[in-house]
A and B are shown apart, each in its own frame.
Chain A
Amino acid sequence: MRRHWMVVLTLALTMVGPVLAHEGHAHKVMGVVVSSSPTRFELRTPSGEILAIAVNGKTVVTRSKQKLRLADVQKGLRAVVDIGNGADPLVARGIQLGVIDPGK
């Protein structure tokens, strides 16, 4: 009986990751860029959480549908980031840039 429950528990735990990061559904996070480098940037969400998000050659940066460069992801800008399926480590597929955060 105990072994049976161990199997159930193991299965449940192994399914948590895939369920949270379900395939085929784009996750987006919004926030303010608090730091940036050529390989990653940090985003402060409205709830105050700081997320470290990697960028790569496939990351598409836009503002009002106009393509920009990764270097345009600057501290203080508002951003909506497409993080794919949301699996760790977070990698930006797309970054939409907005105005400088008025609360900065």
Chain B
Amino acid sequence: MLKGALLSVLVLAVLGTAGAAVYLKTTGLSARAAPGRVEAAVARRARAWAVPSEYRDKANPIAVDADSVQAGMAHYADHCASCHANDGSGNTALGRGLFPPAPDMRGRATQAMSDGELFYVIEHGVRFTGMPAWSTGTAAGEETSWQLVNFVRHLPQLTPQQLEEMAGMNPRPPADVRQEIREEQFLAGDEVTPAAAAAAH
């Protein structure tokens, strides 16, 4: 009996090691290809299973109102949109290049998650993906994460006006900010040197 069990464990270990070796060598651990359907389904279930139950069933303490959605939107545009895109589609250079790619959060897979699961993912991140842990360990940080949950729920109903507003909230390189100031000064009638104008690029 014990001998049989040991043999089974050994066979499983050998198969697991062989499977891992095949996975490593066939994928090259490249992030360029999208995960297969089986891999994606297994990973999604594993992540859902891994979320502690006390989080899964947690109720959102922040009411879904215009203020909380607006606060979540501002934070999302500044911290999340680089990967997830303003509209939540994940259609950005960073989002597409991750493995797995940033999900379309307007879709069922994300929207079917409980508020607590979304909160957990925002606070703790997801290992082996590009999703970082945003927790600051503070009550204010948790409040922000709950506001983000409200905003993620709002993603499927985003208006063109909100998308335009978010575009103005996205992080920009200092050179772009300086350039915008130069443009505003020029439009207001200030002198602009040819060199400064040439930098409008």
**Bound: A58/B4 CA distance, A:** 74
> Contacting chain A: which of B13-21, B102-110, B116-124, B185-193?
B185-193
Judge whether B189 and A97 touch: CB under 8 Å: no
A78 to chain B, nearest CB (A): 6
Judge whether B187 and A46 touch: CB under 8 Å: no
Partner of A96, one of B183, B192, B197: B183
Q: Is B194 an interface residue (CB 8 A)?
A: yes
Inter-chain contact total with CB atoms closer than 8 Å = 45
Known: A30-B183, A46-B194. A99 touches B189 (CB 8 A): yes
Count of chain B residues near A, Cβ 8 A: 14
25 contacts between A and B (CB under 8 A): A27-B201, A28-B179, A28-B183, A28-B200, A29-B197, A29-B200, A30-B183, A30-B186, A30-B200, A31-B197, A46-B193, A46-B196, A46-B197, A48-B194, A78-B186, A78-B189, A80-B200, A96-B183, A96-B187, A97-B187, A98-B186, A98-B188, A98-B189, A99-B187, A99-B188
**A98 / chain B contacts, CB cutoff of 8 Å:** 186-189
Secondary structure at the B interface, as helix, strand, loop or mixed, is helix
Interface string of B143-180 (1 = CB under 8 A from A): 00000000000000000000000000000000000010
In this complex, the member of B194, B198, B200 whose beta carbon has the largest number of chain A beta carbons within 10 angstroms is B200
Q: Is A59 an interface residue (CB 8 A)?
A: no
Judge whether B201 and A28 touch: CB under 8 Å: yes
Looking across the interface, which residue of chain A has its beta carbon closest to that of B93? A24
**B193 / chain A contacts, CB cutoff of 8 Å:** 46
Nearest first, the 8 A-B pairs at minimum CB distance are A98-B187, A47-B194, A46-B197, A28-B200, A99-B189, A46-B194, A80-B183, A30-B197
B85 to chain A, nearest CB (A): 14
- Chain B interface residues (CB < 8 Å from chain A): 179, 183, 186-189, 192-194, 196-198, 200-201
Question: Which chain A residues numbered 78 to 104 have a C-beta less than 8 Å away from chain B?
Answer: 78-80, 96-99, 101-102
Q: Taking A46-B192, A46-B194, A80-B183 as given, write out 4 further A-B residue pairs in contact, using a Cβ cutoff of 8 Å, ordered by the A residue number.
A: A45-B197, A47-B194, A99-B188, A99-B189
Secondary structure at the A interface, as helix, strand, loop or mixed, is strand
Looking across the interface, which residue of chain B has its beta carbon closest to that of A26? B201
**Bound: A31/B104 CA distance, A:** 41
- Chain A interface residues (CB < 8 Å from chain B): 27-31, 45-48, 78-80, 96-99, 101-102
A21 to chain B, nearest CB (A): 12
Looking across the interface, which residue of chain A has its beta carbon closest to that of B201? A27
**B198 / chain A contacts, CB cutoff of 8 Å:** 47
**B187 / chain A contacts, CB cutoff of 8 Å:** 78-80, 96-99
Known: A28-B183, A28-B200, A80-B200. A102 touches B189 (CB 8 A): yes
**Bound: A101/B197 CA distance, A:** 15
Judge whether A45 and B186 touch: CB under 8 Å: no
